[in-house]
A and B are shown apart, each in its own frame.
Chain A
Amino acid sequence: DTEVTQTPKHLVMGMTNKKSLKCEQHMGHRAMYWYKQKAKKPPELMFVYSYEKLSINESVPSRFSPECPNSSLLNLHLHALQPEDSALYLCASSQGAERGQPQHFGDGTRLSIL
């Protein structure tokens, strides 16, 4: 069983919808991450939160809006997405954001844009 929980597991939405992805961890980790993974490709980093503050945004379009309400929760708000945004969205956490810290991944949300 994964220690990083993501909901929902699957999401289908239209291009005009607004939805949110949720991620929760109870390992006391202070860094949390969002990744996007296309089929047969490695994950691509989107955002990094360290101590509940956004520390890295990898030039992600503004239709993706992250939020970290507290040290255990991470949300990704979605609005006006495009068909090419269909992918597996992975959340991860680590003890800190320093180099060498292994990250623990959730099972992801599979997102389909109609």
Chain B
Amino acid sequence: AQSVTQLDSHVSVSEGTPVLLRCNYSSSYSPSLFWYVQHPNKGLQLLLKYTSAATLVKGINGFEAEFKKSETSFHLTKPSAHMSDAAEYFCVVSDYKLSFGAGTTVTVRA
């Protein structure tokens, strides 16, 4: 079975500083990985996806993630945080169903 582990339950950053959300995966074969964001009282929005093409994946709203097979990681980054980035972020691996990490809550300080 495939699974993901989000290493931080909560990340707090200042507006304009970089954001790093860490995710490790476990998979017996080449995984399909996603990052989703959920703002309060909203559904989940797809930020980006990795499906064995380029290891550096660019997503929406300035986010990107790097797939590192040697480290079994798929960390999400953004160079400069904005107040609107405050939300819950889920790292997800796709098998016959989506397996979600526990989530990382991002707060952005003005």
Contact = CB atoms under 8 A, between A and B. Distances in A.
Contact of A101 (B43, B90, B94): B94
A42 B103 contact: yes
Given A42-B90, A42-B103, A103 B43 contact: no
Interface string B78-110: 000000000000100011111011110000000
A45 B98 contact: yes
A81 interface: no
A2 B98 CA distance: 20
A105 B44 contact: yes
B43 A4 contact: yes
B43 A56 contact: no
A104 interface: yes
Contacts of A100: 32, 51, 94
A107 interface: yes
B45 interface: yes
A104 B62 CA distance: 20
* Chain A CB within 10 Å, residue with most, of B51, B95, B96, B98: B98
Interface size grouping (class) on chain B: 20 to 34
Contacts of A99: 32, 94-96
A102 interface: yes
Nearest to B90: A42
A102 B44 contact: no
B56 interface: no
Contact of A42 (B32, B97, B102): B102
Interface in A41-59: 41-43, 45, 48, 56
Given A4-B43, A42-B103, A48 B97 contact: yes
Contacts of B36: 105
A104 B47 CA distance: 11
Contacts of A42: 90, 100-103
A45 B97 contact: yes
Nearest to B44: A105
